[in-house]
Amino acid sequence: MKDLLRAADLSGDDVTLLLRLAADFQNAPESAHDLLAHRTVPMYFAKPSTRTRLSTAAAVARLGGTPVAVGPDELQLRRGETIGDTARVMGAYAAAIVIRTFADADVADLAAAAPIPVVNALTDGHHPLQAVADLLTVQEHFGHLHGRRVAYLGDGGNVARSLMEAAALAGMDVAVATPPGYAPAGGAAAFAAAEAGRRGGAVTLTADPVEAVKGASVVYTDVWLSMGDPDAERERRVAALEPYRVDEELMAHARDDAVFMHCLPAHRGQEVTAGVIDGPRSLAFRQAANRLPATQAVLYALLTRRLEGRR
């Protein structure tokens, strides 16, 4: 397995391996400090980033490499150079490429042409690095994943899709509550249902947030609005998603020991109340910290050809 473009690229054994590696890197951050010695990793960001940019740069540095952050205005893509040509050139200089952009097709084209590993650091369709950090956080807190129920509420976008895929591969139960028209697309639900079923788990798609959180160990949400959404779209989304806000009343329907998770940035008063995200049940900032060892694990596993992928 050369690249990580979506969580569904992984096998169940791959997920287990990545979580073990990430836990090892938590305990010994510099244990593979010479893997990328004298090598670079370009990080292409077409979208703004806080956690992904900083955690990836730190992960590369901990592996002994030099991260090089570039944006659309710093390459020749806007002057007509193809993604394939860019990938081949980067492959001559670097050990791996990390890309955060819009279209999944662009990442797939980059990976197809690049002779080195390509990691999807977020697209409109998927966010696999976040999913690895999410599972690491749940495992760290509860001790195991298999049989745990994770409930996701809100917009079934990239974070929801990757969470569904990764959680199913880990044998978790997954419940996703979205308004009509906001359900996860791109085959994520079908993939998750099949994989969860093989491992004794289940996938529930519902429009009822209370139904989703019943029995849940983890209640998860994401932002409702994206930068650049027109005003009319913003108003429509807020109206549709408001019943899915995670507040103390909704958390009371989950297990007594349930935790709250959010990939950040958060908008208090929209998708979550301040009392929940800043309260004692919130793991949101532990999730953010875990982006570093999770990314370190992904890069290490790809560079050492440890992942088997879905054969």
Which CATH number characterizes residue 80's domain? 3.40.50.1370
Is 198 known to be catalytic?
no
Asked if residue 50 is part of any domain, the answer here is yes
78 and 169 part of one domain: no
193 and 108 part of one domain: no
151 and 249 part of one domain: yes
pLDDT for 22 equals: 98
27 and 152 part of one domain: no
Task: At 138, list the tokens.
Answer: 């749940």
Contact partners, residue 120, CB within 8 Å, separation at least 6: 3, 4, 5, 6, 99, 104, 107, 126, 127, 128, 129
How confident is residue 194, by pLDDT bands cut at 50, 70 and 90? very high
Choose the catalytic residue: 51, 222, 262, 287: 222
Residue predicted with more confidence, 5 or 234? 5
Asked if residue 2 is part of any domain, the answer here is no
Asked if residue 311 is part of any domain, the answer here is no
What is the bridge-based pairing of β-strands 40-45 and 97-100? parallel
Mean pLDDT computed over 100-119 = 98
Neighbours of 112 (CB within 10 A): 13
How confident is residue 231, by pLDDT bands cut at 50, 70 and 90? confident
56-80 per-position pLDDT tens digit: 999 999 999 999 999 999 999 888 9
Mean pLDDT computed over 153-169 = 98
**Is pLDDT above 90 for 210?**
yes
**Is pLDDT above 90 for 228?**
no
Task: Quote the domain boundaries for residue 32.
Answer: 7-126+291-303
Q: Give me the number of domains the chain comprises.
A: 2
pLDDT for 226 equals: 75
270 and 160 part of one domain: yes
Is 291 known to be catalytic?
yes
Cα pseudo-dihedral 108, 2, 197, 127, rounded to 10: -50
Choose the catalytic residue: 130, 139, 287, 296: 130
| pTM metric for this prediction | 0.97
122 and 209 part of one domain: no
Choose the catalytic residue: 6, 51, 127, 262: 127
**Is pLDDT above 80 for 229?**
no
Is 104 known to be catalytic?
no
Choose the catalytic residue: 6, 51, 62, 100: 100
**Is pLDDT above 90 for 310?**
no
Choose the catalytic residue: 6, 161, 262, 291: 291
| Residue 305: Cβ-neighbour burial (10 angstroms; 0-12, 13-18, 19+) | exposed
107 and 200 part of one domain: no
